[in-house]
């Protein structure tokens, strides 16, 4: 059993997993080196190619090189049918990525950890949500996030095992 927020994601004080109604933890061993997994993960402009729950991702304030996430980059996208405005808050190349976001009565934090496992990677993703909507719909959102994030990991594995993305 995973303890809420047991990983080394740097949670914001107002969104600690123990204090939020919605929390999802998923992990998967991916047969690709961390730098290949990372290359796919930070190319947010390409998420919709392999993650079914990503629509209309746009960068705010200009598109970064290769459409890649970087520290403090802001982006908007539609996920779960809701527009969300996000800002990258954690960024340690090939290791850690996280963003804070909000939309439709919710605020949240989504973190990714990539750990080397020989020639493979252990990829962990966790998300919390708070606010009126998450409080009212916590049982549904907890299940939906867990399922959807597992699908995201599986599709990330599929593209990463095929090699790095083209520039």
Residue 95 inside a domain? The answer is: yes
Counted domains in the chain: 1
Tell me what pLDDT residue 1 has. 46
Q: Pairing state of beta strands 74-79 and 55-60?
A: antiparallel
Residue 112 inside a domain? The answer is: yes
Residue 37 inside a domain? The answer is: yes
Question: Which CATH number characterizes residue 92's domain?
Answer: 3.30.530.20
Residue 14 inside a domain? The answer is: no
Residue 25 inside a domain? The answer is: yes
More confident residue, 6 or 157: 157
Binned at pLDDT 50, 70 and 90, residue 166 comes out as confident
Cα(86)–Cα(18) distance, rounded to whole angstroms?
A: 22
Residue 12 inside a domain? The answer is: no
Three-state SS annotation for the chain = CCCCCCCCCCCCHHHCHHHCCEEEEEEEEECCCHHHHHHHHHCHHHHHHHCCCCEEEEEECCCCHHHCCCCCCEEEEEECCEEEEEEEEEEECCCEEEEEEEECCEEEEEEEEEEEECCEEEEEEEEEEECHHHHHHHHHHHHHHHHHHHHHHHHHHHHHHCCCCCC
Q: Pairing state of beta strands 74-79 and 96-103?
A: unpaired
What lies within 8 Å, CB to CB, of 65 at 6+ separation is none
Binned at pLDDT 50, 70 and 90, residue 131 comes out as very high
Q: Which domain holds residue 150?
A: 20-161
Tell me what pLDDT residue 6 has. 66
Residue 47 inside a domain? The answer is: yes
**Do the Cβ atoms of 20 and 128 come closer than 8 Å?**
yes
Indicate the pTM of the whole model.
0.94
Binned at pLDDT 50, 70 and 90, residue 4 comes out as confident
Going 84 to 90 to 91 to 96, the CA torsion angle's sign is negative
Q: Which of 150, 154, 157, 149 is nearest to 32 (CA)?
A: 157
Tell me what pLDDT residue 167 has. 59
Cα(51)–Cα(128) distance, rounded to whole angstroms?
A: 19
Residue 5 inside a domain? The answer is: no
């Amino acid at each position: 059993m995973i303890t809420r927020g047991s990983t080394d994601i740097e949670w914001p004080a107002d969104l600690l997993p123990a204090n939020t109604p919605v929390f999802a933890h998923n992990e998967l061993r991916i047969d690709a080196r961390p730098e290949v997994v990372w290359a796919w993960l930070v190319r947010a402009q390409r998420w919709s190619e392999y993650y079914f729950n990503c629509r209309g991702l746009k960068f705010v304030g200009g598109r970064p090189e290769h459409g890649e996430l970087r520290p403090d980059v802001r982006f908007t996208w539609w996920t779960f049918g809701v527009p969300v405005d996000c800002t990258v808050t954690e960024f340690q190349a090939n290791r850690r990525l996280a963003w804070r976001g909000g939309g439709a009565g919710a605020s949240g934090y989504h973190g990714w950890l990539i750990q080397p496992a020989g020639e493979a990677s252990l990829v962990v993703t966790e998300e919390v949500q708070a606010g009126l909507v998450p409080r009212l719909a916590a049982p549904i959102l907890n299940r939906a996030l867990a399922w959807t994030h597992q699908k995201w990991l599986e599709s990330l594995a599929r593209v990463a095992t095929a090699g790095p993305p083209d520039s």
